[in-house]
Structure 1
């Protein structure tokens, strides 16, 4: 069975309902190399996962460069998205200006070995930039033929509605998974009403919903998960215990943990497109069974009992990590 094809926003290209997040290819979560990255991308193509998502800041261009080399060598038929607007610090800032976004986009296109991308996100929204002005900037990039459409990331519903009224938003990308449920407070519904794709990043809870949950001791020094509240004790142990119950449940169904967790996200609506990430083909292949899973009402009830809304201990970001994220509740 293959993943359902859905619109990437109303009138946008058809993409599989499961995408690939390429941040891990930059070594953000551990060492990798070009051969392993290429094998991972080969596995994505073989599994029908042809909607790929990256950003200029992933390894400061490394992820885009790896993808660009793969595209130049193998010419895959893919739908491609990238992002810009985060300016590394210290201090870290957000720049939504036309000059900045155009310059960063042009550099991304060179690294990716393409003339345009299908989707270009403002990686974060600067509160000093009215959403209407940001939408006008993105429309200029569309008119210039550099992007097929634009998206917003880690934003509140009000920002989306205001930008969309000026120039239609193709996609909104926010964190969403069984342990990060904030988008259910209006954002997913708004996207459905407006015909916007909701692209769910970290749908496997940053490595927790795997056959073995990631452990803080196995994270490299300096990695942002080491200071993420959900991975710090005692929160980590509480979270692991809850997810272990879900792991046993998924295995009892004959499913991988990743496939079951992704099936839950896919069930939230046809406009919801999760983009898990990995740096190995083995982990990617654990996702593929999600295409064969149709969760019943009983399945959903059992999942809700195992992992009720709000089960996660600790915020999804530390205060410093959340500094550029729009909060709306």
Structure 2
């Protein structure tokens, strides 16, 4: 697989988002099944594994830490702080003392003495970004983390943080149907030599064609509360999905592969991290790195799926208020 740089590491261009092995999309797989998928990802060449304290309220870090222990030194391990579970409730807390405690807890769960890339999962708007990044910079000095990342921040916040300590990566939702990064932060990352890690690169499954009935989502599936999976937005977005499927057939690839190949074409500092609980889907996703799209196909995709053709905001109002990413007018 082609490689791209993140921090001081060179990793295969497509990594693995580990969230749905423990969190967010209904009942997660059992430990044996999840571990088998993580091992298969390594066997297939994945070296960038992404987890967080929030996922399963620590359960995902525990899962990943145990699974990758045999090859820990061969992988680039990323995790996140500042959004965690406290007594079963999701809390955003970016105070330096909280970040320090969360990091120590993460190191224990991950069974490692350092985390290669540690993100602020969300900027706590009650705490200056400089204070939160300052705490993480001290963790870099102590050797507990290798590099600092930010998630769901604007270009302005990125620049403020970068003035305190170099920011190795920004992680934000980015796909054909979520283009907010193109407003400013993608370019800011390029200017600051910061990698851009794209989560939900296949639109939480929508761009694979697998989501046909949101009513069938599990009770705890977070997509139930996302406007794009609710009416009238869901039906509106399905109107262009068939044409997208036809384009994938023309390119002799799956819809997921077409989505990921488009992302890889954006720039060489963009690294998608699709997540899955299926080894078949894992294999399909990773094969996208071998696909090269023509300028004509990229142009068709940009015209078909963009901020003007996609219906509905990506988050409900309460969640939207928690993020700092730029929004289209």
Q: Which interval holds the TM-score relative to the shorter structure?
A: over 0.9
Q: Identify the structure with the greater helix proportion.
A: 2
The answer to whether residue 56 in structure 2 is matched with residue 59 in structure 1 is yes
User: Residue in 2 aligned with 1:147?
Assistant: 145
Using the TM superposition, give the Cα deviation of residue 211 of structure 1 relative to its aligned residue in structure 2, in angstroms: 4.8
Query: 1: CA distance between counterparts of 2:148 and 2:39?
Result: 27
User: Residue in 2 aligned with 1:270?
Assistant: 268
Query: 1: CA distance between counterparts of 2:111 and 2:166?
Result: 27
Query: 1: CA distance between counterparts of 2:325 and 2:41?
Result: 33
User: Residue in 1 aligned with 2:18?
Assistant: 22
Using the TM superposition, give the Cα deviation of residue 39 of structure 1 relative to its aligned residue in structure 2, in angstroms: 2.2
**TM-score, normalising length: structure 1:** 0.94
Using the TM superposition, give the Cα deviation of residue 76 of structure 1 relative to its aligned residue in structure 2, in angstroms: 6.7
Kept after mapping to 2: 8 A contact 1:43/1:285: no
Using the TM superposition, give the Cα deviation of residue 216 of structure 1 relative to its aligned residue in structure 2, in angstroms: 1.1
User: Residue in 1 aligned with 2:293?
Assistant: 295
Structure 1 unmatched runs, 5+: none
The answer to whether residue 239 in structure 2 is matched with residue 241 in structure 1 is yes
User: Residue in 1 aligned with 2:198?
Assistant: 200
Kept after mapping to 2: 8 A contact 1:179/1:205: yes
Query: 2: CA distance between counterparts of 1:48 and 1:75?
Result: 14
Using the TM superposition, give the Cα deviation of residue 87 of structure 1 relative to its aligned residue in structure 2, in angstroms: 4.2
Matches within 5 A, 1:152-163: 152-163=150-161
Distance 1:174 1:75, change over 3 A: closer
Query: 1: CA distance between counterparts of 2:150 and 2:49?
Result: 16
Kept after mapping to 1: 8 A contact 2:39/2:68: no
Structure 2 unmatched runs, 5+: none
User: Residue in 1 aligned with 2:36?
Assistant: 39
Secondary structure, aligned partner of 1:170: strand
Distance 1:205 1:319, change over 3 A: same
Using the TM superposition, give the Cα deviation of residue 282 of structure 1 relative to its aligned residue in structure 2, in angstroms: 1.4
Kept after mapping to 2: 8 A contact 1:256/1:289: no
Query: 2: CA distance between counterparts of 1:188 and 1:205?
Result: 18
Secondary structure, aligned partner of 1:208: helix
User: Residue in 1 aligned with 2:119?
Assistant: 121
Query: 1: CA distance between counterparts of 2:39 and 2:130?
Result: 40
Kept after mapping to 1: 8 A contact 2:26/2:219: no
Query: 2: CA distance between counterparts of 1:49 and 1:99?
Result: 33
Kept after mapping to 2: 8 A contact 1:71/1:113: no
The answer to whether residue 75 in structure 2 is matched with residue 78 in structure 1 is yes
Secondary structure, aligned partner of 1:80: strand
Query: 2: CA distance between counterparts of 1:328 and 1:30?
Result: 29
Match of 1:187 among 185, 188, 193: 185
Query: 2: CA distance between counterparts of 1:80 and 1:182?
Result: 26
Query: 1: CA distance between counterparts of 2:42 and 2:275?
Result: 14
Using the TM superposition, give the Cα deviation of residue 214 of structure 1 relative to its aligned residue in structure 2, in angstroms: 5.5
Kept after mapping to 1: 8 A contact 2:25/2:218: yes
Kept after mapping to 1: 8 A contact 2:161/2:167: yes
Query: 2: CA distance between counterparts of 1:74 and 1:174?
Result: 27
User: Residue in 2 aligned with 1:132?
Assistant: 130
Match of 1:221 among 219, 222, 227: 219
RMSD: 1.7
Matches within 5 A, 1:244-259: 244-259=242-257
Using the TM superposition, give the Cα deviation of residue 286 of structure 1 relative to its aligned residue in structure 2, in angstroms: 1.5
Deviations 1:153-198 (A, max 9, x none): 1111111001101210011011100000011001000000100001
Using the TM superposition, give the Cα deviation of residue 91 of structure 1 relative to its aligned residue in structure 2, in angstroms: 7.2
